[in-house]
Structures are given as structure tokens and as C-alpha cells.
Chain A
Amino acid sequence: MKTYLFCALLLLGTGILAAINANCIMLNLFGAPEIVRNAASENAQGKLVLLYGSDICSTCPSGRTLHLLQSNDMTFMVDPEFSDYEIQDFMETFQLSGDVVKADREVTIWLKRLAQCKQETRWRRNLRLTFNGGASPVKVETF
């Protein structure tokens, strides 16, 4: 309970309304970084994949998820230090066709807080955000 309270306070502190169930965090986009809001508004039913984790390879656990994310309405947000060559290699390896954007510092801070809320010891986990339309709740899953 203390953890939930801590997380709620943490997210409220950043302007994000949060509720937590056993498997994921549900949150509203109010207060999320603009880049995330934009990605959501462009694809009201879309998905946003934030790739920060070190385990991004075709036989890593994350590979299974990535291989399934081939739709055009997907936006992949990557660490700003990804080079254009790396982005090209990434899209080619997983045969992806969505958009790729580089994240910024604000998103990084937001990701760290999400990771803390999910009690992740490694905040650089990959995240998949599923938007249910507009500014309604977002389902956050780590992979």
C-alpha cells in the first residue's frame, strides 16, 4: 500500500493521474511529455514503444514482442543516442514499418519515474504504451 501511495504521489507530482493494478500502470496523458502526447494524438488507437532497454535483440525476450509489432500505426521512440544507421538496422532486423522518433530528456525522466512506479530495478526496460483514444488511460507494459 505504501508503494502504491508513493507511486501515486510521485505521478501526481508530475501531473500524471495514476491508478495501479497488479500487472500494469494505467495513467492519463495529462502531464506526460509532449512527445508522448503527440504520438498518442496522431494515433488515437495507436501504440507507442519506448526502446531504452539493453536487451534488444532478435532472440532476446524483447525480440518476440518486437517481431509482432509490425503495423504502420506504431511509433517507436528510441534513446537519443541512436544513430541513423542503428535505427535503420533496428527496423530492418525486426521488419518494422512504423515511425521512429528520438526521445528527449523529458521523456527519459518520465520513463525513470514509470520504472520506479513499477518497482523496476533497471529503469531502462523497454516499454509499450497502448492508447485507448485521446487522453484516456494508457496501458503500460514492460518487455
Chain B
Amino acid sequence: MHHACMLLVFLCLFASGTDNGTMLTRNVIPFGDDQAWLTLSTDMAFVGDYLYVVENPKHQVKKVRVQSTVTFEGYLAQKGEGPGEVWLPIELLTREDGSIIVKDNRGFSFFDTKDDFQHRFRVFTSWISATWLSGRIYYAAADPGKDQLIFPYTPNGKKGAAFAPKFLQVDTARGDMVRLAHNESYLYEGRLLTDGRTLFYLNKTFGKAWTFDDKSKLLSEKNLTGIFGPHGAMVVEKNKNYLENPHEMEKPEGFLNYSLFDDAFLLEDNIYLLRVVNALDGFIPAHKDIFVLDKKTLTLKEVLKVPFKPGEYFWTFAARVENGKHRLYAIIDMGEDTNLVALDR
């Protein structure tokens, strides 16, 4: 699937010149048993002590318990095409009761609070991001046949009226719908987040940020590029070039992805953005930044710095409240090992 290709062509870009910020310490949470070992993840979600981890290349969603050690609790879903099985899972949606919905290559699979499979429905448009709000799945997808980006679905798969108008002038006269869908899925790449009342769309390539209420009404609009400094402007310039020269995105050998951030996570009043790090301009920085935004104003509150060594990788992270404070976790590929790491002040 194209997401795997995106990972293959993925190159980390553009460290900020920001020197101010809080350097975090990394604390590896040891695995308590062999089955708890995690591999590089595309998404992860906490429900209390439990962490659900999408192991995309292995076609499975693993459940572990995170305390002083990481212990294996089972699989929410494993590889397959039958009910309750997944194929290239990519994102987790958490419902209010803590139950999980898995977005995979086919669609959305619903599980209950005991991790038992309930039902699923298919979607056919190309995934950008999804979240759960007020009894509906909100699905951002690349559909060249539509003028909007976000599609609400009821749990039984009924599609509602699309909203969030496309804000880029993509050349739709190029004819090949697959190519158009592929290009749109890159140019509109972003994350949907929710705090249970408001829906956030944060675009990775041009910095567009929208908030909507749960009736799809636009509440606010902002551009986040400035937060990322001069490198943010460079990312947008690169993507404008793709927009004007779409054939650059259609090379059979792939193309370079220019993103402002890798992943975003919302917890209480904070939105955390895992900022993309530069590997193109000749140096590997010693840290990877997490920008903390105020969810109401979408303004920068703080920069957190994660110590980061050459050859290490992580693209996703999650946070939970521990002892009244936010604690961030990432699954970091450290070369020989992949570890669950708590990021502490």
C-alpha cells in the first residue's frame, strides 16, 4: 500500500534553529517478557495502563501493560482477512469508553472494551487520518472526485455530508485518478485530533489548521507554519513546488516527503507535535523536538527536546497523565533494539 511506500521514501527534514527548550531524559521501560517486545510503530494509544501499538509491517495490533515494566497482554487484532483480523493497520481511534477502532487497509474494525471484535465496514478512499467524535468516525481522505477532505461515518458505515473544503489548487486535469489520489494523499497529509468536543485537522505539508465542532461547523482557521521557523517556510516552499510540478511526485523511484511534523497527539489542553528532523542538509541533530501547542489558540507554549542519536528512528508517540502530569512515550528503534521509552523532564 502507498503508506508503506511513503515510509520507504520518507526522509526526515529540517531541524529548527530553535535552541531554547526543555531537554527531556529518556528512560527505557524494560520488557517484562519476550512477547512484550515491540517493533517500530505507526500509531499507539493509551487506555489506562494499557498501550495499544500498531505494528503495521506485521499486520497486527499488540496490547501491552505499561507500568515499571512492559508486559504482554495479547493482540487486539492479528494478520488476516476475516472478522477481527487486520491487513496493514495504520491508525487507532479511541472511543469514550476506552474501546478501540482500528483503521486498516480495508476500513474500520470496531472492538469493545474487552477487546472483542464487534463489526467492521469498508472504506475505499485513501487514508489521511481518522478520529472518533460524538458517535461518528471522522475520516480525512484523498478523494479526487470530491471538493471536501473530511467524511463523517456512522458506526454502521453510512457516510454523511463531507466538509472541510480542499484548500490547494491541485491540477485535476491530469486524468489519472490514482495519480491524483496519490498526490492528494500527500499534499493534504495531516492528523485529525479531538478532545471530545472539537475536531482538529492539522496539515503536515502546508501548516493549515482547522477546528470544527461536532456538527462539522468551522470554528477557527490558522496557519501553523510560523511555529516551525525558517525551516517551516522551506517545507512549504518545497511543497508548493510539488503542487506546481506534480510530475515531481510521480517519479517511479519515489519522491522526498517534506513534512512539518511526523505525528500529533492531544492530551487535555495540549497538542503535542513531533517535529520532523533534518537528515538532508548535512547534519543529524542531537535531539528531536516536540512542540507543545495550546489547543485553544494553537500557539506555541513550549519546546521539548528528545535526545536523539544518528541511526535512531521513531515516528509516533503517545502521552498519558501520570501523577497529575503528562508523560510522553515513544517506541524508538535504536538499531539493535527497539524500546519503549518514557520521555521525562
Bound-complex Cα distance A116 to B178 (A) = 29
Interface locus among A52-60, A105-113, A134-142: A52-60
Are B122 and A124 touching (Cβ within 8 A)?
Answer: no
Are A92 and B145 touching (Cβ within 8 A)?
Answer: yes
Interface locus among B151-159, B199-207, B230-238, B267-275: B151-159
Q: Which of these, B81, B124, B144, B178, contacts A89 with CB under 8 Å?
A: B124
Are A58 and B178 touching (Cβ within 8 A)?
Answer: yes
B203-232: which residues lie under 8 A (CB-CB) from chain A? none
Whole-angstrom distance from the CB of B345 to the nearest CB of chain A?
Answer: 41
Are B124 and A59 touching (Cβ within 8 A)?
Answer: no
Q: Which of these, A58, A60, A67, A90, contacts B142 with CB under 8 Å?
A: A58
Bound-complex Cα distance A86 to B106 (A) = 11
Residue picked from A54, A59, A93, most chain B C-beta under 10 Å: A59
Are B122 and A56 touching (Cβ within 8 A)?
Answer: yes
Whole-angstrom distance from the CB of B104 to the nearest CB of chain A?
Answer: 8
Any chain A CB within 8 A of the CB of B129? no
Per-residue CB proximity of B95-116 to A under 8 Å, as 1/0?
0000000000111000000000
Any chain A CB within 8 A of the CB of B56? no
Contacts of B87 in A (CB 8 A): 54
Closest chain B residue to A93 by CB distance? B124
Are B157 and A57 touching (Cβ within 8 A)?
Answer: no
Any chain A CB within 8 A of the CB of B182? yes
Secondary structure call for the A interface: loop
Any chain A CB within 8 A of the CB of B125? yes
Q: Which of these, B2, B124, B145, B177, contacts A56 with CB under 8 Å?
A: B124
Contacts of A89 in B (CB 8 A): 122-124, 157, 159
Closest chain A residue to B182 by CB distance? A59
Any chain B CB within 8 A of the CB of A30? no
Contacts of A124 in B (CB 8 A): 81
Are B156 and A59 touching (Cβ within 8 A)?
Answer: no
Any chain A CB within 8 A of the CB of B126? yes
A76-94: which residues lie under 8 A (CB-CB) from chain B? 82-83, 85-86, 88-90, 92-94
Are A85 and B145 touching (Cβ within 8 A)?
Answer: no
Bound-complex Cα distance A60 to B104 (A) = 13
Whole-angstrom distance from the CB of B22 to the nearest CB of chain A?
Answer: 39
Are B106 and A56 touching (Cβ within 8 A)?
Answer: yes
Contacts of A58 in B (CB 8 A): 124-126, 142-144, 177-178, 181
Contacts of B125 in A (CB 8 A): 57-58, 93
Number of interface residues of B (CB under 8 A): 28
Whole-angstrom distance from the CB of B144 to the nearest CB of chain A?
Answer: 8
Whole-angstrom distance from the CB of A66 to the nearest CB of chain B?
Answer: 8
Chain A interface residue count: which class? Answer: 20 to 34
Contacts of A86 in B (CB 8 A): 107, 121-122, 157
Any chain B CB within 8 A of the CB of A95? yes
Are A54 and B106 touching (Cβ within 8 A)?
Answer: yes
Whole-angstrom distance from the CB of B188 to the nearest CB of chain A?
Answer: 13
Bound-complex Cα distance A57 to B128 (A) = 13
Any chain A CB within 8 A of the CB of B185? yes
Closest chain B residue to A88 by CB distance? B159
Contacts of B161 in A (CB 8 A): none
Bound-complex Cα distance A67 to B180 (A) = 11
Closest chain B residue to A82 by CB distance? B122
Whole-angstrom distance from the CB of A31 to the nearest CB of chain B?
Answer: 27
Bound-complex Cα distance A86 to B123 (A) = 7
Bound-complex Cα distance A54 to B50 (A) = 29
Query: Knowing A93-B125, A93-B145 touch, does A67 contact B177 (C-beta < 8 A)?
Result: yes
Bound-complex Cα distance A13 to B81 (A) = 28
Q: Told that A57-B124, A58-B177, A85-B156 touch, could you supply 10 new A-B pairs with CB distance under 8 A?
A: A55-B1, A56-B124, A59-B2, A64-B176, A64-B178, A67-B178, A83-B156, A85-B158, A89-B124, A90-B122
Measured CB to CB, the residues of A under 8 A from B are 54-60, 63-64, 67, 82-83, 85-86, 88-90, 92-95, 124
Measured CB to CB, the residues of B under 8 A from A are 1-2, 81, 87, 105-107, 121-127, 142-145, 156-159, 176-178, 181-182, 185
Instruction: Write 23 A-B pairs (CB below 8 A) sorted by A numbering.
Output: A54-B87, A54-B105, A55-B1, A56-B106, A57-B105, A58-B124, A58-B142, A58-B144, A58-B178, A59-B1, A59-B126, A60-B1, A63-B177, A83-B157, A85-B157, A85-B159, A86-B157, A88-B159, A89-B157, A90-B122, A93-B143, A93-B145, A124-B81
